[in-house]
Amino acid sequence: MDLYTVTKTINISELTHWYQPIQQLETGAVFGYEALVRSKTSYDFSPLELFKEVEAKGIRTYLDCQLLFRAINSMSQISPYTLFLNVFPSTLLEKWFLSWWDEYINVTSPLVLELSEVEPVKDWEALKTVVNELHKRGVEFALDDMGSGYCFFQHWVELNPEYIKLDRYYAVNLAKNELKQRILEHLLKLFEGYTEVILEGVETEEDLNVAKSIGIPCAQGYLLGKPSPWKDISISNHRSK
């Protein structure tokens, strides 16, 4: 399978990235943006459906690499912010991945690759090898959707990521759910000194205030900023200065 075959199957030119801010709660400052796949032409576009479609056709890894390439090539526009970018663990496990990376990828700004735990890891030793090699190339890692998939603590122990992104489940109604609050307090103690925590899905002031009181260092969600094309974010940032 080559790029020509992929582009004949999926119109990659219709895909783009929108960016959602990640905020440091203590200062209120944005320190990074997550790049999210969107369609230039469809308002009801679903990334999940797209990846299901390409997986069924056997080209998900190749599309994943093309999206990596396009997002990382645009990193200069979001500097000095950190770019957070999703990648499937199975993509990293392709035998040709590191040689492809070295040929096509040039990291010029802080980059964090997010590994989702919704996909099981088939070869831990191989994945650790690739992660270590990418660390040498200046790449950091986050575990995405913590609490929604496979063997989260094994992901954390084996890969020792710089960031943990807690699934939005923990943010929804956080202010009214004491058990969720206790869980987050214990997780913060567990990760302290090893991994930075980012709480996803923050959508109300009440939940945000409780997250701050618990000590959550960073958060992401519609309350803090919706995904937008970079040109809109750039204009907004310029106006706020």
Residue 54 has pLDDT above 60, yes or no: yes
Confidence class for position 148, pLDDT limits 50, 70, 90: low
CATH code of the domain containing 109: 3.20.20.450
Burial of residue 41, with CB atoms counted within 10 A of its CB: 0-12 exposed, 13-18 middle, 19 or more buried? exposed
Peptide bond into 47 cis (omega under 30): no
How many distinct structural domains can be found in the chain? Answer: 1
Per the domain annotation, does 210 fall within a domain? no
Closest CA to 26 of 179, 185, 217, 166: 217
Predicted local confidence at residue 43, as pLDDT: 83
The domain of 65 spans 3-168+220-240
Give a yes or no: residue 212 inside a domain.
Answer: no
Per the CB < 8 A criterion, the answer to whether 218 and 199 are in contact is yes
- What does pTM read for this prediction? 0.91
The answer to whether residue 181 is domain-embedded is: no
pLDDT over 80 at 235, yes or no? no
Q: What is the mean pLDDT of residues 81-97?
A: 95
Instruction: Please compute the mean of the pLDDT values over residues 94-120 and round it to a whole number.
Output: 91
User: Which pLDDT value is given to residue 4?
Assistant: 45
Q: Return the residue matching tokens 């000590």.
A: 215
2, two tokens? 């080559």
Share of the chain above pLDDT 70, in %: 90
Structure-token match 């956080």, residue found? 174
Confidence of residue 1 (pLDDT cuts 50, 70, 90): very low
* pLDDT higher than threshold 70 for residue 8: no
pLDDT at 225 over 70: yes
Q: Is residue 227 part of a domain?
A: yes
* Residue 212 pLDDT level (bands cut at 50, 70, 90): very high
The better pLDDT of the pair 231, 79 is held by: 231
Strands 218-219 and 196-199: parallel
Q: Rounded distance, CA 225 to CA 218, Å?
A: 13
